[in-house]
Every structure is written in C-alpha cells, then in structure tokens.
C-alpha cells in the first residue's frame, strides 16, 4: 500500500468515526494545498497548522520554504497526531482541541506569521469558532493572517463574528481541481491590536447563527 493510499484510508476511517470533526472523506489535493499556502514563504516565520490530518498542507508549507522546526501542528485526532510526529519530527505536534488554542505554549525562534486551518468550521458551533479565532489571533504577530478553506459558496466565518472580533475576510481564490472544489479566504485584523484585545473583554452577545 502506497503512502497516498494509506493516507486516504486513514482519512476515510477517521471521517467514518467522526464526520463532523473531519472536513472531508479524503485528504485535500495538491491544487488546494498550493492555493492555501500561496502567500506563505520562509519569511512568514512560525506557522501554526490546525487540523493537519495526514500532513498534505504541511508538505506544501515545507515546499514553500517554511522550516520544519517553525511548524506547530495542532491535531485533535490521536491517529493523525501520531503519524504527524513520525513524519515531521522537527515540527512541534500538539494533540489538543483547537478551541483551546489560546493555551497553546509557543516556544519558537520566530513570531507566528500565519495560521493555516483545515478545520470544518461550518459544522462547528459559533462559540467554538469564536474560541478558535480568538486563540489564533492571540498568537499571530501584527500583520499575520489566518487562512481557511471551505467547500461552501461563501466565507465560512459569519460576518457578525468577524465584526465582533474586528476581523476582515478576503477571498484568495477557488480551485475546481480539488475534490470537491474549494475556496480559500484570508482573515486579518482590521483594527489595532489594542482595540482587538479590548473587544474580548465582553462576551459574545447578539451574534446570529452562521448564515453561510
């Protein structure tokens, strides 16, 4: 059995056991991996990857010039986390729920310049998405970006939630070569760091259910 076939089998088995946690029945393809990492380079610094799965995006990040030791792989599934540790020994693999991201210990030589997310945000409760974004931006340096893909027609993060956190979403592009076709969005701060943190002093009220 080839590595690609083994990865597909592992991914499918994980999807069967937890379809809401695993974004797809198969790993993402090369076209989506390339689109997700198109703005990332060796100059980005440390990159946090959420839900790496079998490491398809991880490989793409390495191909973009990101040093393996500058990768922090946050994976909830034990089956994936174990494989990631073996495949990328110089990276820091952490088995944890991405909703606890704020508690993630970062001991990196370079600031966090990007978060790459393979998480199925559309299947998650709004408050969990809020916790993931809040945690991600607590680690991102000023000017850093959060990258998210979706199989849906719009940004998978609700506009009221973006407004609440002082963030903006920018459409990067779409690839029809992926199965299924997918789009990628970049999420950035649209206010100063101080303003962004002040927003978090208040609970998330009056945010409507994700319309997307």
What mean pLDDT is predicted for residues 32-60?
96
For 88-139, where are the E strands, in sequence order? 92-95, 112-117
177 SS3 class: coil
For residues 152-158, average pLDDT: 94
Average pLDDT over the chain, rounded to an integer: 84
CA 184 to chain centre: 11
Per DSSP (E only), the strands in the chain are 46-50, 71-75, 92-95, 112-117, 140-150, 167-175, 182-189
Is the pLDDT at 55 greater than 80? The verdict is: yes
Q: Are 81 and 98 in contact, with CB atoms under 8 Å apart?
A: no
**8-state DSSP, 126:** H
| Residue 109 Cα to chain centre, angstroms | 21
Q: How confident is the model at residue 192 (pLDDT cuts 50, 70, 90)?
A: low
Q: Please state, in angstroms and as integers, the Cα–Cα distance from residue 10 to each residue in 15, 27, 30, following that order.
A: 9, 9, 18
What is the predicted pLDDT for the residue at 67? 97
What is the reported pLDDT for 62? 98
- What mean pLDDT comes out for the span 126-148? 97
Phi, psi of 103 (to 5 degrees): -85, 0
């Amino acid at each position: 059995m080839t590595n690609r076939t083994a990865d597909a089998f592992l991914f499918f088995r994980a999807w069967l056991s937890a379809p809401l946690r695993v974004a797809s029945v198969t790993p993402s393809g090369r076209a989506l991996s390339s689109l997700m990492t198109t703005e990332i380079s060796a100059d980005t610094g440390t990159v946090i990857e959420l839900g790496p799965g079998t490491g398809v995006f991880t490989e793409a990040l390495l191909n973009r010039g990101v040093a393996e030791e500058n990768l922090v792989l946050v994976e909830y599934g034990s089956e994936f986390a174990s494989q990631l540790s073996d495949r990328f020994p110089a990276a820091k693999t952490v088995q944890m729920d991405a909703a606890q991201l704020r508690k993630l210990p970062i001991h990196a030589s370079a600031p966090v310049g990007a978060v790459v997310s393979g998480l199925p945000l559309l299947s998650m409760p709004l408050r969990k998405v809020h916790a993931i974004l809040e945690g991600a931006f607590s680690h991102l340096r000023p000017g850093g970006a959060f990258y998210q893909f979706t199989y849906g027609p719009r940004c998978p993060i609700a506009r009221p939630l973006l407004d609440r956190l002082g963030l903006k979403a920018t459409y990067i592009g779409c690839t029809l070569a992926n199965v299924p076709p997918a789009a990628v969005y970049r999420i950035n701060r649209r206010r100063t760091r101080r303003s962004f943190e002040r927003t978090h002093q208040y609970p998330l009220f009056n945010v409507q259910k994700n319309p997307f």
